Structure 1
Amino acid sequence: MKTFLSLSEARKSALWNHLLKLSSVSLPTGKTGTKRVIDHLGYVQIDTLTVIERAHHHTLWVRQPSYTPQILDELLAKDRWVFEYWGHAASYLPMHDYRYYLPKMREFPRKNSWEKRWLLANKKLADSILKCIRDEGAMGSKEFKAQPGTGKRSWWNWKPAKTGLELLFWQGKLMVSERRNFQRIYDLTERVLPGNLNTTMPGDDELGRFMVLRALSVYGIAQENEIRGHIHAGKRNIVSASLKDMLASGEVMEVTVENFEKQKYFALPKTLEDSSKSLPEISNSGVFLLSPFDNMIILRERMKRLFNFDYTIECYIPEKKRKYGYFTLPILWGDTFIGRLDPKVDRKQKTFYVRHLAFEQEFKKAADLVPLLETQLKELARFNQCEQIKIEKVSPIKIEKLLKKKIISAHN
């Protein structure tokens, strides 16, 4: 079994394990395929930004083109197959992983934190929120506003009640029962959890093993800090201890990666077996336009190291300091990130705007890319319920004429 991977093999392993490949192997349609994606990735990050379709839907659609947002909504509210909690960030998580987040719920809030002080100072309010939901059923924060002219719930102060709902959620006393117009609707945890779900509290060893396996199953190969940063279900020292034990038992192997011989990488034996057998080549027959919060690119330093792609989401940067745009989507072609695309959807006009399409300086194959990019742009526009595409800016400028001739003329 090989324990040295070329950079190309390391990239290929990462892409295959993130379900970002084009081959004859495809995912099932409908909920079956969506479940498979979520279960494999371990989490899908929830996004509040609506420049285009929200990131959690985008992340699933990229891997399962038949996906629709209704599927995820039903997996949460109807099927109870996913739940909301903190994965890498606020995330949709497989319900069968619920027990591995119990330690985090038990430890919340941290000692001397503002959350701890708030809950101590507002115990009566927190108890009242729980009683209200127990008596009246699932509610969102809006239900805790006084209704004008009725005096109903006039004793609630909305902002403290909203804080209380969120902290009770992080404690695990409340769960998100559903989303209505993206607003969280909370209910008592015992009324949301499936009756047959295993809710046994895991020990440190079991939790650490879970986190190592979850990370390496999706990353392919990873450094220790990347494994620890994959999902935040337990403390970092727990992950490090489990990684050490799994190395000793042979459940995890140490790997050397080309150009990074002095850095330790780790992989599951199955990953190395697949690499030894030679994974199918990553196809250049299609393009992926990834969300800024896609699992593949969320660890920015990893992206810079393995793919030589220095990515930053610039919506948190003042406009004058932005280089590429507000909400750029990384463009993946084959095993290379070739640029980024800054989109904006005009929902009333059903128009998908490409505000800035920026390619990496070393990119040279625009003529080969254009028909593939056109196809993917059309699919992304359709997913966002848009009927036309308009490109505003392309850099470098020499590619602009080719793109506008091929794409704009077909969609204006």
Structure 2
Amino acid sequence: MSRPLLSNRDARRLFLDRHHLLRPAPGPGLGVDLEELLHGLGFVQVDSVNTLARAHDLILWARRSRYRPRALRSLVAKRRSAFEHWTHDASVIPMSFYPMWRLKFERDEARMRQRWPAWQRPGWHDELDIVLKQVADNGPTSSLDVGGGEAKNSSGWWDWHPSKTALEFLWRSGRLAICHRQGLRKHYDLAERVIPPEIIREHRTDTEIVDWAMSAAMERLGFATSGELAAFFEIATRDEAKDWCTEALAAGRIIEAEIAQAGGAARRCFTTEAMLERIPSLSEPSSRIRLLSPFDPVLRDRARAERLFGFHYRIEIFVPEEKRRYAYYVFPVMQGDRVIGRIDARRDGDLLFVRAFWPEAGTRFGRGRVAALDAELQRVSRLAGLSDVAFQDGWLRE
């Protein structure tokens, strides 16, 4: 049988719909509404860079313009409806997914025991029981509270002295959980004192966890290769993902489709009949200009973003005569179902200061788009707690 072909337009819109960016909802961005958004996304990546706003805050704000950072902290520290751990990177994850992380805890522990002796300062393994007892006896503990007698470097945040390494190991392997943060500093407690008891008691087999991880990734991506499905949560191995796709295809749970790329060629991916049935009912995309985090899930896989949107995006792009064409941390800008440019915008005192905007090739930037961009910058300045927006002379580049 011939495989169905998705046009690039339909593929972009289905992908944005799955990522809650086709027409972002007008919800309050807190409490149950934020829990539902987080569940729909699967996770939100946590990043410490704050040239304008934290990555996780920008990701959620792009989908709920009334969102404010304290709402996400509340899910983890008060409501206990989300937890912090790793997917491909540090992330906030719906609490209902916690039982699936058992397999990740076990696999991460095995990798750490194999690799960390060569990567970390010696002595961390001897601190595991000491640090675990300290947390058990004293409750919430940060890296400042452990390793009192250890030599520490001046690098501070990145100084993984043995006790801090032990603390991270115990968290990554599931014995500790993050109970709250002060600023960006994590505070840990015993997992059974943080994770709700009914969640702790829930048990899934390895096979059930892999099946869940692959099915949940497909629901949130819309279409993907086996490798892209495995990379979504980083729970299933690449071999497990291939085997799952083979079995699911044979059982009729998934189908193969050709996805038209921005350059015109087609790429074979897996999808489902239900996903294809959604396409005719998808709404037109929002015309609002949106500033996205460099770690937004629609762009996190840089190669996929280039294939799907024709958007070549790397953190740094060097041009010899200019030394550096784009600053270290430029923000992608989307309108409708297209990425229309990238912007160098950052905090400068109480202002959001725009150094440069580079439109994508073929994107005309007249007065209407300039006004729409300014309106978006005014909105994001309120998220960042800034008073106004200022533009450098010559900010609109070729």
DSSP 3-state at the match of 1:110: helix
**Residue 381 of structure 1 contacts residue 387 of structure 1 at CA under 8 Å; is this kept in 2?**
yes
Cα RMSD for the two superposed structures: 2.6
Q: Which runs of 5+ in 1 are unaligned?
A: 147-154, 398-412
Partners of 1:58 and 1:336 lie apart in 2 by 18
**Residue 110 of structure 1 contacts residue 116 of structure 1 at CA under 8 Å; is this kept in 2?**
no
Q: Which residue in 1 is equivalent to 2:286? A: 283
**Residue 211 of structure 1 contacts residue 239 of structure 1 at CA under 8 Å; is this kept in 2?**
no
Residue 193 of structure 1 is aligned with which of 191, 195, 216?
A: 195
Q: Which residue in 1 is equivalent to 2:270? A: 266
Matching residue's letter, 2:351:
T
Partners of 1:177 and 1:171 lie apart in 2 by 16
How far did residue 124 of structure 1 move? 3.5
Matching residue's letter, 1:263:
R
Q: Which residue in 2 is equivalent to 1:11? A: 12
Partners of 1:93 and 1:293 lie apart in 2 by 16
**Residue 119 of structure 1 contacts residue 126 of structure 1 at CA under 8 Å; is this kept in 2?**
no
**Residue 339 of structure 1 contacts residue 357 of structure 1 at CA under 8 Å; is this kept in 2?**
yes
Q: Within 5 Å, which residues of 2 pair with 1:4-403?
A: 4-22=5-23, 26-107=26-107, 108-110=109-111, 113-115=114-116, 122-144=124-146, 146=148, 155-157=149-151, 159-197=161-199, 199-259=201-261, 263-275=267-279, 277-284=280-287, 286-314=288-316, 321-346=323-348, 349-392=349-392, 393-396=394-397
How far did residue 315 of structure 1 move? 9.7
Partners of 1:110 and 1:88 lie apart in 2 by 15
Q: Which moved more, 1:84-93 or 1:252-261?
A: 252-261
Partners of 2:252 and 2:213 lie apart in 1 by 17
**Residue 328 of structure 1 contacts residue 340 of structure 1 at CA under 8 Å; is this kept in 2?**
yes
**Alignment length (residue pairs):** 384
Inter-CA distance 317–48: structure 2 relative to 1 (3 Å threshold):
farther
Partners of 2:210 and 2:319 lie apart in 1 by 36
Q: Which residue in 1 is equivalent to 2:155? A: none
TM-score by length of 2: 0.89
Partners of 1:174 and 1:181 lie apart in 2 by 19
DSSP 3-state at the match of 1:139: coil
Q: Which moved more, 1:205-214 or 1:379-388?
A: 205-214
Partners of 1:231 and 1:315 lie apart in 2 by 28
DSSP 3-state at the match of 2:60: helix
Partners of 1:156 and 1:119 lie apart in 2 by 11
Partners of 1:200 and 1:22 lie apart in 2 by 35
Partners of 1:130 and 1:323 lie apart in 2 by 48
How far did residue 218 of structure 1 move? 1.9
Q: Which moved more, 1:213-222 or 1:107-116?
A: 107-116
Matching residue's letter, 1:69:
P
How far did residue 30 of structure 1 move? 2.3
Partners of 2:266 and 2:356 lie apart in 1 by 38
Matching residue's letter, 2:189:
D
DSSP 3-state at the match of 2:278: helix
Partners of 1:261 and 1:311 lie apart in 2 by 20
Partners of 1:75 and 1:316 lie apart in 2 by 40
How far did residue 280 of structure 1 move? 1.4
**Residue 122 of structure 2 contacts residue 162 of structure 2 at CA under 8 Å; is this kept in 1?**
no
1:382-401 CA distance string (max 9 Å, x none): 1111111112243435xxxx
Partners of 1:376 and 1:336 lie apart in 2 by 16
**Residue 98 of structure 1 contacts residue 199 of structure 1 at CA under 8 Å; is this kept in 2?**
no
Matching residue's letter, 1:20:
L
Matching residue's letter, 1:99:
P
Matching residue's letter, 2:284:
E
DSSP 3-state at the match of 1:222: coil
Inter-CA distance 289–122: structure 2 relative to 1 (3 Å threshold):
closer
1:234-256 CA distance string (max 9 Å, x none): 32212222222222222212111
Partners of 2:123 and 2:162 lie apart in 1 by 11
Partners of 1:317 and 1:123 lie apart in 2 by 46
Partners of 1:21 and 1:324 lie apart in 2 by 27
Partners of 2:317 and 2:266 lie apart in 1 by 35
**Residue 260 of structure 2 contacts residue 266 of structure 2 at CA under 8 Å; is this kept in 1?**
no
1:126-157 CA distance string (max 9 Å, x none): 111111111111110112264xxxxxxxx355
Q: Which runs of 5+ in 2 are unaligned?
A: 153-160
How far did residue 368 of structure 1 move? 3.0
How far did residue 228 of structure 1 move? 1.8
Inter-CA distance 263–204: structure 2 relative to 1 (3 Å threshold):
farther
